[in-house]
Amino acid sequence: MKAVGGLTPREGYAPLSAGALRRVIRVTNERFGGRVTWHIVFGRLERT
């Protein structure tokens, strides 16, 4: 991730405050029963 800039935030990005993050987690718990799922796909393309 680091090599492709995946750890570098976009210009103008501001992280959530602790209070805002707690509100997001609370809403997620209420709406989705505390379940969050992720679908992470890795791939590799090679020229032959």
**Per-residue tokens: 32:** 């989705």
What's the Cα-to-Cα distance from 12 to each of 8, 9, 15, 18, 37, rounded to whole Å?
12, 8, 10, 19, 28
Give yes or no for a contact between 24 and 16, defined as CB atoms under 8 angstroms apart: yes
**How confident is the model at residue 17, as a pLDDT?**
94
Global confidence as pTM: 0.50
User: In a structure prediction context, what are the per-residue pLDDT tens digits for the chain, which is 48 residues long?
Assistant: 677 777 788 889 898 899 998 998 899 889 988 777 778 888 988 988
Give yes or no for a contact between 26 and 19, defined as CB atoms under 8 angstroms apart: no
Question: What one-character DSSP code corresponds to residue 8?
Answer: S
Return the sign of the alpha-carbon dihedral for residues 24, 28, 34, 37: negative
